Amino acid sequence: MPVDKSQIKEFEKIVVDGIELTADWNRMFDQRTLFDYDSTGCMDKITDLEGGESMGWCYQCGQCLPVCPVDAVGGQYGPMRIAKKLQQGIDLFGDPDMWKCTSCMNCLRVCPKEVNMIKIMPAARAVAVLESNVPKELQDVFEKTFEYGNPLGESPRKRADWVAETGSTAPTMKELARPVDALWFVGSYPSYHKRGKDASRALAKVLNLLGIDFGILGTEEKDDCDSMRLAGETGLFEEFAEYNIKTFKKYKFNKILLTDPHALNAFRKEYPKYGGNFEVVHYSTFLAPLMSQLNFTKELNYKVTFHDPCYLGRHNGEFEAPRNCLKAIPGIDLIEMGRCREQSFCCGGGGGGMWLDGFMSDHINERLSENRVREAVETGADVLAVCCPYEVSRFEDAVKSTGNEGKLLVKDIAELMEEALG
């Protein structure tokens, strides 16, 4: 019950709910009014969005801060900090915090109130995208993807050029013109990026050696756009989802085989909403039970540490298959980093982060990929093994920028298989 201020006089006693109080203490019972900022509007702007509701559930317990990779590199981040700022009347729209989240899901893993940044941030960013309130480097990627079908801005006609360039055998579904066991959705970075092509060449070799009946879409393939969706470009995502689903439905196959965990996430969790129900499998999950059929001829003699991709591990629950693939390669000594499996650290590429390095450099002390590379080096590993196409380029850059060139190699698991096959 608020106390009437007129009752308060020094050294006088007043009675509240039958309890006598000295005037010295009265002001503790005075009703508090937050008068210097609007404490509701900014939070409401987020919680009113479909997907943004859980932002209001935060009770500031702090569990999310130690696990947020952006906070770990000095980004002053995590849902707790955002909820606090919103409660203080700081608008997320126009604030750099809108773009720092990599959607790694580590906070949701520990949050007792299920504050879900994987839904909150895309919902808020979708509004920012509609208002053209987007960092320029990200906007450029949206435009390139819209125009060319890939975020690298490469010609769609060249999407399958990696096959001839790398001397690989990977027939298109159109050429095969028959049902196959696996439709391999190669993805944009594995089709165009130099290091991505190395992994594609390696995977094609492994699939052929195993006698897998597979086909690719070639120039018919377009980006999965899951990271654009998480960065707020829902329109682009929907358009590409409808296109890809229509293309898949032209052909007959048992499963879609994926190089990219982000595509796996989109096809498994989002495409069913648009009528695309397919069996989808990451290449590590597909290959792990087949490893004994590969005739390895070379011992690699590598100490290897493995980086769990957020979208394979935390988002889709696959922790064992990549490790089983690595353990089956002769000469590999697998050592774990402290932050592994469910607690894996993010490379910084998710949720649009792949294209926000310039923007982020103003807000963090070091890149997430640099922090992760330091951790990998500390294990004494010679090789940092990855199985997400974002990671090879991010970690190779980080190896250079942290001065670890010559100490640590970054290789896709398929490349390690290829090397041991001789």
CA–CA separation, 26 vs 9, rounded Å?
A: 9
CB of residue 353 to ligand SF4, shortest distance in Å: 8
| Shorter beta-carbon distance to ligand SF4: residue 101 or 203 | 101
CB of residue 111 to ligand SF4, shortest distance in Å: 3
CA–CA separation, 208 vs 223, rounded Å?
A: 24
Choose among 347, 113, 411, 388: nearest CA to 265. Answer: 388
How many chain residues bind ligand SF4 (CB under 6 A)? 29
282 neighbors 387 (Cβ within 8 angstroms): yes
| Shorter beta-carbon distance to ligand SF4: residue 79 or 276 | 79
Q: Which parts of 26-65 interact with ligand SF4 (CB under 6 A)?
A: 58-64
97 neighbors 77 (Cβ within 8 angstroms): yes
Tokens of 268: 């498994």
CA–CA separation, 392 vs 412, rounded Å?
A: 7
CA–CA separation, 74 vs 176, rounded Å?
A: 52
| Shorter beta-carbon distance to ligand SF4: residue 56 or 156 | 56
CB of residue 208 to ligand SF4, shortest distance in Å: 38
- Interface with ligand SF4, residue 123, by CB under 6 A: no
Give 95's contacts (C-beta < 8 A, 6+ positions apart): 85
Binding mask 68-87 for ligand SF4 (x = CB under 6 A): xxx------xxxx--x----
CB of residue 86 to ligand SF4, shortest distance in Å: 12
| Shorter beta-carbon distance to ligand SF4: residue 220 or 226 | 226
| Shorter beta-carbon distance to ligand SF4: residue 26 or 103 | 103
* One of 106, 150, 234, 265 touching ligand SF4 (CB under 6 A): 106
First to last CA, the chain: 80
Give me the amino acid identity at 131: E
| Shorter beta-carbon distance to ligand SF4: residue 14 or 65 | 65
Choose among 155, 226, 215, 227: nearest CA to 191. Answer: 155
* One of 43, 46, 73, 101 touching ligand SF4 (CB under 6 A): 101
253 neighbors 181 (Cβ within 8 angstroms): yes
- Interface with ligand SF4, residue 281, by CB under 6 A: no
* One of 86, 107, 173, 354 touching ligand SF4 (CB under 6 A): 107
Tokens of 9: 């006089």
For ligand SF4, the binding residues (CB under 6 A) are 58-64, 67-70, 77-80, 83, 101-107, 110-113, 115, 117
